[in-house]
Amino acid sequence: MRVGLIVDSACDLPYEFSRKHGLFILPVTAVIDGQTYVDEHDPVLTQEFYQSGLLQRGHHAETQAFTAEQIHDLFMEKIVTQYDLAICESVTRTRSLIFQNATEAMNSVMAHYHEPRKAAGREGRFSMRVIDSKQIFAGQGLLAAHTVRLIGQNLSKNALRHQVDSFTDKIYTCVIPRDLHYIRERARRRGDKSVSALVAFLGKALNITPIIFGQGAIGEPVAKTRDFNVAVEKVMNYAAARVEAGLLTPYVSLSCGLSWTEIEALPGLNNLRDVCERHGVELLLSQMGITSSIYVGPGSLCLSLAADPHHFKDFQ
């Protein structure tokens, strides 16, 4: 049984990891200053965006999910003809239409896959599952890495689906937004009032950098610092301590909306690398993708890991 894993462009993973394991990227459309781009996690295009400054505040940037029809066509052309089982993990349904559109596309595919599959010379039935990752960015990347690990264990279809479904609630994520004003403005354009103007103003006027922590896409501020680097070091120290205490999967996923030079200079990163290496944990370090960076703002950081129930303060 050949199993394919599909993730969307909101999923942050190192390009080399995605290529090595044959992940299929479901694109997201980015619209910046009226110009349309298709985010397929091309590392060259991503780097060009960072260098061009198009992701900086002052540019009007939004993301749009592929339609159900577009996703249907991709599935029929690229997935049905290549795999016997496909698992599509979408960014949390509370933040995007990708899950809804992919589910609609899947239902259509399951009713019409027979002829294209036969024409491609693939025998046997095809099955598919669309899963709400309940995650964002690095958290979605962590789930994908764990799913790759599960696929390697040759589980049955039902066992694989159950393992992935149950694992989503065990992922903890830290987000450090670099610019609260950016988030507030983007939320305002979407009609999302969850980030108040007052919080954005205080963050800008007093240079407050919050650390948002929680399970999946549901988090709350657990620390406020006056300096981005201080916040980063706190998150790195948390991750290192949590690795030493034990994880539920041997990965830590870290994505940063920064240049690679800036990423390598992050305080605490080398210590986290050392701790991960000592404990047999793979640090999945990536540059935040275009879709992720548009959502949370350039310069931000997202770190995810899977562990038993705990609080951020327990590992400070």
Residue-wise pLDDT for 226-258, tens only, equals 899 999 999 999 999 999 999 999 999 999 999
- pLDDT of 193 > 60? The answer is no
Domains 3-169 and 170-315 share a fold: no
The predicted pLDDT at position 263 comes to 96
Q: How confident is the model at residue 148 (pLDDT cuts 50, 70, 90)?
A: very high
Residue 58's pLDDT is 53
Torsion of CA 311, 284, 149, 108, to 10 degrees: 90
- Using 50, 70 and 90 to split pLDDT, how confident is the model at 186? low
In tens, the pLDDT along 66-101 reads 999 999 999 999 999 999 999 999 999 988 899 999
Q: What is the bridge-based pairing of β-strands 35-39 and 61-65?
A: unpaired
Is this prediction's pTM over 0.85? yes
**DSSP-assigned letters across all residues of 189-220:** HHT--SS-HHHHHHHHHTT-EEEEEEETTEEE
Distance CA 253, CA 304 (A): 5
Element (H, E) at 88: strand 85-90
pLDDT at residue number 144: 98
Q: What is the mean pLDDT of the chain?
A: 90
Query: Tokens at residue 298, please?
Result: 């350039």
pLDDT value, residue 166: 93
Residue 59's pLDDT band, with cuts at 50, 70 and 90, is low
pLDDT of residue 243: 98
Question: Of 9-13, 194-198, 296-300, which one has max mean pLDDT?
Answer: 9-13
Q: Which pLDDT belongs to residue 201?
A: 60
H helix intervals, the chain? 15-20, 43-52, 68-74, 98-112, 114-119, 138-151, 157-167, 180-190, 197-205, 228-245, 260-264, 269-278, 290-296
| pLDDT higher than 80, residue 189 | no
pLDDT over 80 at 202, yes or no: no
pLDDT for the residue numbered 173 = 97
d(CA 275, CA 266): 16
Domain 170-315 bears CATH identifier 3.30.1180.10: yes
The Cα–Cα gap between 111 and 82 comes to 17
The domains of the chain are located at 3-169, 170-315
- Architecture in CATH for domain 3-169: 3-Layer(aba) Sandwich (3.40)
